[in-house]
């Protein structure tokens, strides 16, 4: 049995060391590679803990998908243009490590002084073998007791996909075409927009000429027309 | 029969709702027919109820639903008809119907006509429910509902400032009485544990004499407000700002008699307390006398009739207080007819005179509006107590009742008041219809009112002549035997014929003397009214200024109240309350501004706060153990 | 220590979680912070799976599965936001993003 512990310790050691390396690395690409090592080791730990299916999922989703995605993003961000920085401000570093140490101490005390008591379930090694293995067991439990949550998760994933499409859509054209704009003001003096043709200062033909193809319903004064699409654009960027 | 009893109040309610919802855009003038038909149906349905009660002498009741079921506190909505209610049903729906018909002519062309014909049936509904109630809470609800209708209708022409303030005055003054009434009902519940008539009246004797007296007086407080008794009658004359049909229906025939009705209804309680009855008698007599003296001095034809109403209500009140219960209800019925007639007649005059109400600008109208003249004369004579019209029988019986009830002082006051009644009624008749024409013939062309207005006058005049005979002979008439079961245990003294004749003779002499004096004054002109008023000097001024009651209230109540309200506004509200509120606001703004600095916008800081929180919580958990949150 | 004990995976989970937390606290590159968050999620997964192993239950594994699914969604959105940030601001320095202040 000692071999099992030895293997576990080895895997955990590599995982922890590479995790520490991940946050220490100066280059984000190196960090990502260190994270891959951690994840692979964690997947191995999962196998030791009778979670073969999750180990595979871990490799496929995390190392296969998410980290590749991260690396893609890293490539897209031009490293030369990144500001030269490594860590945060010194105070932030001190507080960060301090908090980490305190929390580690607390959790260590918790792990060593307390025991978790629970009723053992039916899914021992033999129990899983009886239904055909870990994947079958998970399938059985998942699709009998967690149908609604899994559908909700599917919805979340769908929403995330749409959100990603939205976030990643290409920028608008460099020179936006002036959008058709409707100027509607509430007139105090007339009811229900009846003063459409009661703009004494500017004749309607005049307005049409000045404002291009914009729709003009009514306005109280000429200032209403002085803002152009360019102005609006500037206002949005500020 | 009891199964369709609910239709009697329901139909006017339905008419009111329909007219209110659809009147403005769809019905307009059609609303008047809906309202009139609904009230007519109520009246027609009331007749068999009355006949059945008269033949069986059994009360009818119909349980509709339970309004408040709360443990022992159960408020059922049950319609209950006995002899008293049946009488009131006929009076309310009958006079109501005539007033509706009359209003069709009177309100013709008014843009708010749909509103008028939605409030008016609503009032009829409320009044019917008030008399049909079988417990005090339902009674109180509809007691307030008729007050609301009164408010709405007095202020019907709400663009007129005087109408709006008169409506407010009526509402607020009534609140004073209703407050006492409400406390009285609470006291009944506390004392007897129920507020249903049957339950309360069955155990009246269980309470102490003092409690009974207090309850009776509190109920009478409500009646003081609603039935315009001293000292709260000031609202009724002002209520004449409303349309005249409203004055006829609400402020003469029905609503103001609700107070009398309630006292009669609470007969088992009130009759147990001699003190309360004495108070009622004194207040009633004082009201009758004071209002009659004021009426003699008024020039506004509607005001004369209004003060006359107050005075007659005083008659009913002291009749109740003297133990002449049936006479009071009898007078209520006859009064409803002849006072409704007088108001509608006055309305007809005003209508024909192009909204002129001042009698000094009338005179000689007899030849222009003969039908109005004759019917008004009948009403006035009935009110003044000329034999053999309705008012004579009931008033005579009340005065007889005071004598039988051993209240000689009140009897004397009653005779004096009867004299004044005759004075002001015939003064109004002669000033309006006789003598020279004092109006501007260029501007005003008096004319008879349309038939839709005169027919109700004729019908009411017919009743004003005949309805008195249901109480003939006095103290032994059909009406007495009919109402007798409502007032169990009431003494029936034997009255000698000679006594009855003596009282009738005195009443007649008094009434005719009033007629004679006014005839001499305004037709023959051998007596100068001005001379008399100068002769009386301060007394005349006192009466002409309505005994300065409004001024007294102004000084004693209104001004201190306004001053106190100003104090509350300027100091308590503007300084203390606003200061507190604004202070809290400023404090929040200040502290928020301080705390805003914590929001650096640096995500690292937020994450740090989260991590710190985790460390603290886990640390606390480790130190204090798992019972930290217990 | 001859046998695999619960303390083993608990310490592993705690160590990875705290390393991730320290990384989030001390680094300024949004991408590194993002990776640290993923590490923390994985650390939690170890705990779930470990307890499931200890008590012969499958609930922990189910939870871990959901966490991975949600993490995938979170990664997609997070990276999308980082892309947008880079395009708009031309930076991945978290300290330069201070819009939350307003």
CATH of the domain at C71: 1.10.287.3510
Residue of C nearest to B614 (CA): C21
Q: Give C6's contacts (C-beta < 8 A, 6+ positions apart).
A: A116, C50, C51, C54
CA C62/CA A142 separation, integer angstroms: 7
Residues 114 through 133 of chain A touching chain C, CB cutoff 8 Å: 116, 118-124, 127
Q: Residue B618: which of A88, A96, A106 has the nearest Cβ?
A: A106
**What count of CB pairs under 8 Å joins A to C?**
239
| Pick from B102, B616, B627, B65: nearest CA to B348 | B102
The answer to whether residue B623 neighbours chain C at the CB level (below 8 Å) is no
Query: C98: which chain B residues are within 8 Å (Cβ-Cβ)?
Result: 600-602
Q: Which chains have 3 or more CB–CB distances shorter than 8 Å to chain A?
A: B, C
Domain membership of residue C52 (yes or no) is yes
B597: nearest CA partner in chain C: C101
B45 Cβ partners below 8 Å, 6+ apart?
B4, B7, B8, B11
Q: What is the pLDDT of residues A52-65, one digit of tens each?
A: 999 999 999 988 88
What integer is the mean pLDDT of C3-29?
A: 89
Contacts 24+ apart (CB under 8 A), B106-113: B106/B243, B106/B244, B106/B245, B106/B347, B106/B351, B106/B453, B107/B32, B107/B243, B107/B245, B108/B450, B112/B156, B113/B23, B113/B28, B113/B29, B113/B31, B113/B32
Determine, for residues B603 and C94 on separate chains, whether the beta-carbon distance falls below 8 Å: yes
Is C25's CB within 8 Å of B604's CB? Answer: yes
Nearest CA in chain A to B611: A99
Chain C interface, Cβ < 8 Å to B: 21, 24-25, 28, 94-95, 97-102
Q: What is the pLDDT of residue A177?
A: 54
C47 within domain boundaries: yes
Taking the C-alpha atoms of residue C35 and residue C46, their distance in angstroms, rounded to an integer, is 17
**In the structure encoding, which two tokens stand for residue B199, read together?**
């339950």
Which chain A residues contact residue B619 at CB under 8 A?
102, 106
State whether C45 and A118 contact (CB < 8 Å). no
Q: Which residues of B68-102 are buried (b: 16+ CB within 10 A; e: fewer)?
A: eeeeeeebbbbbbbbbbbbbbbbbbbbbbbbbbbb
Summarised one tens digit per residue, pLDDT across range A186-197 is 545 544 444 444
CA distance B13 to B33: 14
* Axis crossing angle, helix A2-24 with helix C6-26, rounded to the nearest 10: 0
d(CA B14, CA B35): 9
Query: How many Cβ pairs within 8 Å bridge chains A and B?
Result: 24
The pLDDT score that the predictor gives to residue C99 is 67
Buried b (16+ CB within 10 A) or exposed e, B205-241: eebeeebbbbbbbbbbbbbbbbbbbbebbbbbbbbbb
Number of C-beta neighbours around residue B548 at 10 A: 12
Round the CA-based radius of gyration of chain C to a whole number and report it. 17
Query: B89 to chain A nearest CA, in Å?
Result: 51
Note the ipTM here. 0.91
Average pLDDT, whole number, for chain A?
75
- Which residue in chain B is spatially nearest to A113 when comparing CA positions? B622
Does A35 contact C at CB distance below 8 Å?
yes
Chain C: residue nearest A116 by CA?
A: C51
What is the band of A203 on the pLDDT scale with cuts at 50, 70, 90?
A: very low
What is the distance in angstroms between the Cα of A109 and the nearest Cα belonging to chain B? 8
Selected residue with higher pLDDT from C96 and B391 = B391
Closest partner CB to C25 (pick from B599, B600, B607): B607
Within 10 A of B175 (CB to CB), how many other CB atoms are there? 13
Domain boundaries, chain B: 1-134, 135-544, 546-594, 600-630
B496 interface with C at CB cutoff 8 Å: no
pLDDT of residue A213: 46
Q: Do B607 and C98 lie within an 8 Å CB cutoff?
A: no
Cross-chain CB nearest to B615 (options A88, A102, A110): A102
C73 close to A (CB below 8 A): yes
Work out the burial of residue B580: count CB atoms within 10 Å of its CB; fewer than 13 is exposed, 13-18 middle, 19 or more buried.
Answer: exposed
CA distance B604 to chain C (A): 6
Residues 6+ apart with CB under 8 A from B202: none
**β-strand partners of B135:** B196
pLDDT score recorded for residue A8? 92
Identify which of A139, A146, A106 has the alpha carbon closest to the alpha carbon of residue A123: A139
Amino acid A95: pLDDT? 86
Tell me the range of A205-214, A219-228, B221-230 where mean pLDDT is highest.
B221-230
Provide DSSP, B121-166: HHHHHHHHHHHH-SBHHHHHHHHHHHHHHHHHHHTSSTTSHHHHHH
pLDDT tens per residue, range B515-567: 888 888 887 777 777 777 777 777 778 777 777 878 888 888 888 888 999 98
Q: Do A107 and B618 touch (CB under 8 A)?
A: yes
Mutate to test the interface with C, among B595, B598, B607 (most CBs of C within 10 A): B607
Asked if A74 lies within 8 A of C66 by C-beta distance, the reply is no
Pairing of strands A215-216, A182-183: parallel
Low-confidence stretches of chain B (pLDDT < 70) are: 1-2, 626-630
- In the predicted model, is pLDDT for residue C45 greater than 70? yes
The count of structural domains within chain C is 1
B613 interfaces chain A, CB cutoff of 8 Å: no
Instruction: Report the alpha-carbon distance of residue A61 to residue C60 in Å, rounded.
Output: 18
C80:A49 CB<8 A:
no
B370 touches chain A (CB under 8 A): no
The nearest CA of chain B is from the CA of C99 a distance in Å of: 6
Task: Give the count of alpha carbons within 13 A of C78, CB side only.
Answer: 19
Which residue in chain A has the smallest CA separation from B619? A106
Angular region, A67: left φ>0, alpha ψ -120 to 50, beta rest: alpha
pLDDT of A178: 54
Sort out which chain A residues have CB atoms less than 8 A from C29's CB and list them.
28, 82, 85
Chain C residue numbers with beta carbons less than 8 Å from the beta carbon of A45 are: 9, 12, 46
Answer yes or no: do A88 and C70 touch at CB < 8 A: no
The number of helices, as runs of H, and strands, as runs of E, in chain B is 27, 2
DSSP label at residue B257: G
Asked if the C-beta of A5 comes within 8 angstroms of chain C's C-beta atoms, the answer is yes
> Which chains have 3+ CB pairs within 8 A of C?
A, B
For chains B and C, CB pairs below 8 A equal 26
DSSP state of A172: P
- B261 near B332, Cβ under 8 Å? yes
Per-residue confidence at C46, pLDDT binned at 50, 70, 90?
very high
Q: Which residues from B are below 8 Å from A92, CB to CB?
A: 604, 608
Q: Is A215 within 8 Å of chain B by CB?
A: no
Q: For the beta carbon of residue B65, count every other beta carbon within 10 angstroms.
A: 8
């Amino acid at each position: 049995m000692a071999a099992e512990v030895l293997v576990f310790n080895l895997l955990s050691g590599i995982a922890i060391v590479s995790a520490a390396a991940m946050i220490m690395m100066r280059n984000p690409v190196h960090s990502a590679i260190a994270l891959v090592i951690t994840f692979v080791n964690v997947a191995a730990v999962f196998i030791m803990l009778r979670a073969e299916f999750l180990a595979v999922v871990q490799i496929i989703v995390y190392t296969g998908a998410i980290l590749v995605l991260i690396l893609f993003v890293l490539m897209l961000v031009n490293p030369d243009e990144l500001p030269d920085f490594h860590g945060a401000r010194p105070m932030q570093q001190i507080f960060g490590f301090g908090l980490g140490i305190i929390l580690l101490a607390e959790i260590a005390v918790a792990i060593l002084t307390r025991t978790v008591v629970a009723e053992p379930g039916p899914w021992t090694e033999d129990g899983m073998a009886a239904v055909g293995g870990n994947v079958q067991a998970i399938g059985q439990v998942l699709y009998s007791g967690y149908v609604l949550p899994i559908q909700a998760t599917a919805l979340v994933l769908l929403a995330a996909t749409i959100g990603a499409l939205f976030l990643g859509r290409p920028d608008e054209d460099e020179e936006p075409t002036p959008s058709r704009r409707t100027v509607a003001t509430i007139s105090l003096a007339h009811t229900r927009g009846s003063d459409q043709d009661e703009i004494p200062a500017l004749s309607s033909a005049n307005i049409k000429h000045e404002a291009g193809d914009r729709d003009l319903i009514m306005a109280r004064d000429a200032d209403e027309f002085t803002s152009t699409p360019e102005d609006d654009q500037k206002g949005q960027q500020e | 029969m009891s199964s369709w009893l609910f239709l009697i109040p329901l139909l006017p309610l339905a008419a009111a709702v329909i007219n209110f919802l659809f009147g403005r855009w769809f019905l307009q003038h059609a609303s008047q027919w809906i309202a009139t038909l609904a009230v007519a149906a109520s009246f027609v349905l009331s007749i068999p109820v009355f006949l059945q009660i008269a033949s069986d002498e059994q009360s009818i009741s119909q349980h509709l639903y339970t309004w408040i079921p709360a443990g022992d506190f159960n408020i059922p909505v049950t319609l209950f008809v006995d002899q008293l209610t049946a009488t009131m049903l006929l009076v309310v729906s009958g006079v109501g119907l005539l007033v509706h018909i009359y209003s069709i002519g009177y309100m013709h062309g008014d843009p708010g006509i749909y509103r008028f014909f939605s409030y008016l049936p609503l009032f009829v509904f409320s009044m019917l429910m008030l008399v049909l109630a079988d417990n005090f809470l339902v009674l109180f609800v509809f007691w307030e509902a008729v007050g609301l209708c009164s408010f709405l209708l007095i202020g019907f022409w709400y663009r007129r400032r005087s109408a709006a303030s008169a409506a407010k005055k009526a509402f607020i003054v009534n609140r004073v009485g209703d407050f006492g009434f409400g406390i009285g009902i609470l006291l009944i519940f506390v004392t007897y544990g129920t507020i249903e008539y049957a339950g309360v009246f069955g155990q009246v004797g269980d309470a102490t004499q003092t409690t009974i007296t207090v309850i009776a007086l509190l109920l009478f407080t409500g009646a003081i407000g609603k039935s315009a008794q001293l000292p709260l009658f000031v609202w009724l004359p002002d209520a004449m700002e409303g349309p005249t049909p409203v004055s006829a229906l609400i402020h003469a025939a029905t609503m103001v008699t609700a107070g009398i009705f309630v006292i009669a209804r609470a007969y088992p309680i009130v009759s147990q307390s001699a003190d309360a009855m004495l108070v009622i008698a004194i207040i009633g007599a004082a009201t009758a006398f004071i209002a009659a003296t004021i009426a003699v001095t008024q020039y506004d034809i509607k005001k004369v009739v209004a003060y006359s109403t107050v005075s007659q209500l005083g008659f009913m009140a002291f009749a109740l207080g003297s133990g002449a219960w049936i006479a009071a209800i009898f007078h209520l019925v006859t009064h409803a007819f002849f006072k409704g007639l007088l108001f509608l007649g006055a309305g007809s005059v005003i209508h024909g005179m192009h909204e002129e109400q001042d009698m000094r600008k009338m005179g000689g109208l007899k030849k222009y509006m003969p039908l109005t003249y004759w019917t008004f004369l009948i009403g006035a004579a009935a009110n003044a107590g000329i034999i053999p019209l309705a008012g004579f029988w009931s008033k005579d019986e009340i005065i007889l009742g005071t004598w039988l009830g051993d209240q000689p002082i009140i009897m004397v006051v009653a005779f004096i008041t009867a004299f004044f009644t005759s004075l002001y009624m015939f003064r109004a008749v002669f000033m309006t219809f006789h003598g020279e024409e004092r109006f501007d013939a260029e501007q005003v062309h008096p004319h008879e009112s349309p038939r839709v207005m005169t027919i109700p006058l004729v019908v009411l005049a017919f009743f004003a002549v005949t309805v008195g005979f249901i109480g003939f002979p006095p103290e032994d008439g059909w009406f007495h035997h009919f109402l007798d079961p409502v007032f169990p245990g009431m003494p029936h003294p034997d009255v000698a014929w000679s006594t009855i004749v003596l009282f009738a003779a005195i009443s007649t002499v008094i009434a005719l003397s009033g007629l004679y004096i006014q005839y001499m004054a305004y037709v023959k002109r051998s007596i100068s009214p001005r001379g008399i008023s100068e002769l009386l000097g301060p007394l005349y001024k006192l009466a002409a200024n309505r005994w300065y009651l409004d001024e007294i209230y102004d000084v004693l109540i209104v001004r201190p109240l306004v001053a106190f309200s100003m104090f509350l506004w300027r100091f308590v509200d503007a300084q203390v309350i606003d200061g507190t509120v604004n202070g809290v606001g400023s404090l929040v703004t200040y502290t928020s501004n301080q705390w805003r600095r914590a929001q650096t916008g640096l995500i690292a800081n937020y994450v740090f706060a989260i991590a710190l929180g985790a460390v603290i919580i886990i640390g606390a958990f480790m130190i204090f153990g798992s019972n930290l949150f217990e | 220590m001859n046998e695999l004990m619960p303390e083993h995976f608990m310490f592993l989970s705690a160590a990875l979680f705290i390393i991730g937390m320290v990384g989030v606290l001390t680094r300024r590159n949004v991408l590194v912070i993002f990776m640290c968050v993923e590490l923390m999620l994985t650390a939690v997964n170890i705990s779930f799976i470990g307890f499931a192993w200890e008590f012969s239950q499958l609930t922990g594994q189910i939870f871990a599965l959901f966490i991975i699914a949600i993490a995938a969604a979170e990664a997609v959105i997070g990276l999308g936001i980082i892309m947008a940030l880079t395009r708009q601001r031309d930076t991945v320095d978290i300290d330069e993003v201070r819009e939350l202040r307003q």
